[in-house]
Amino acid sequence: MNPVFLNIGGFTIAWYGLLIMLGVVAGIYVGTNYARRRGLNVDLFERMILWMLFWGIVGARIVFVATSWNMFAHIPFPRVLLDIVNIRGGGISIHGGLIGGILVMLYFTRKYKMDFYKYADLCVPGVAFGIIGGRIGNIMNGTDTVGRVTGWPIGYHWPASARAFHDGMCVANPNPDLDLSKYCQTIGGQLVMTAPVHYTQMYGVIIGIILSIAAFYWLRSRRPGWAFWQFWLWYSVLRAGWEETFRLNPLPVKSYLSQGLNEPGIGLWTETQLISVPLILVSLWMLMRLRSRPEPLPTEVASAAPETVIKETV
């Protein structure tokens, strides 16, 4: 396992960014095809996606820094500013990326009077593909986004080639919930963490695959917003209930923690889990509202005239 896909004269391309981008490109292709079939403005959709990518990255980094400030608090000023913007050093938040993308869609909705949900639905496959690429990128990074130490049979032992990239995990952490130093050994002159952990990166890959398959089923609905809110519901349920439950993250609200070589490796509640609760409730409420509305007739969708092509640039 190696985080670097390509290195040319010191310029590196990381697997993480490459795989996310491939997922997004595949999503754009799928979304564009749906836009044509539904008589939507393809040019507007493609330009919106470009801005969503930019502000999605910005939002993803801002939320990561805000929720992981302990990683930056010890860095002196002004060097900390460089570390904050150095996204190549790793660290983004999927929720932050989604927020950034949604803000762009809201801007386009206001500026161009477009139907928010008709276009938001088309972004769902790309987000799901991006989740798959991002989590595979985490695997290539080694023990990135590691799970909690577990005694369950599904515990995963990272190979030495992966552990080497994250020997910092063996440094004593002041937060006992995150301290893995007691599970470290010296192997080949290097201190590495050898305990079995939940393979949370693979959990995330599987979640992305589930959402990708479900996205095509949700898009069969003619109700604008159906795919959008289904994604938020099931991403929040699967991320909070499965991946995040076993992931080595801080517990702002500690109601349950059991990790170790003879323990299941479970922790409640992380920040992501706390955020997911209101998202699940809002998603359920919006889906019930959408279900109560009459579904448009197939002829209304099929015969819809393409929206006016807008030449104005953003």
For the stretch 143-163, pLDDT in tens is 667 889 999 999 998 876 665
pLDDT tier at 42, thresholds 50, 70, 90: very high
The domain of 231 spans 4-41+114-292
pLDDT at residue number 194: 80
In a domain, 129, yes or no: yes
pLDDT at residue number 176: 78
In a domain, 13, yes or no: yes
Per-residue pLDDT at 308 exceeds 50? no
Give residues with Cβ within 8 angstroms of 48, minimum separation 6. Answer: 104, 105, 108, 119
Residue positions counted in the chain: 314
Q: Which residues of 194-227 are buried (b: 16+ CB within 10 A; e: fewer)?
A: ebbbbbbbbbbbebbebbbebbeebbebebbbbb
Name the percent of the chain lying above pLDDT 70: 86
In a domain, 133, yes or no: yes
What digits encode the pLDDT tens for the residues 49-88? 989 988 988 888 888 788 777 667 677 777 777 777 766 6
The arithmetic mean of pLDDT across residues 41-56, rounded, is: 91
Secondary structure (3-state) at 279: helix
In a domain, 266, yes or no: yes
Number of domains comprising the chain? 1
Highest mean predicted confidence (pLDDT) among 6-10, 138-142, 179-183, 247-251: 247-251
Instruction: State how far the alpha carbon of 241 is from the alpha carbons of 7, 11, 235, 266, 282, in Å.
Output: 38, 39, 10, 11, 17
Cis omega before residue 298 (within 30°)? no
Dist. CA 177–CA 55, nearest whole Å: 33
- The pTM of this model reads 0.85
What digits encode the pLDDT tens for the residues 122-145? 999 999 998 998 888 888 877 667
pLDDT at residue number 304: 43
The arithmetic mean of pLDDT across residues 223-235, rounded, is: 95
In a domain, 301, yes or no: no
More confident call, 283 vs 81: 283
pLDDT tier at 246, thresholds 50, 70, 90: very high
pLDDT tier at 292, thresholds 50, 70, 90: confident
Mean pLDDT of the chain: 83
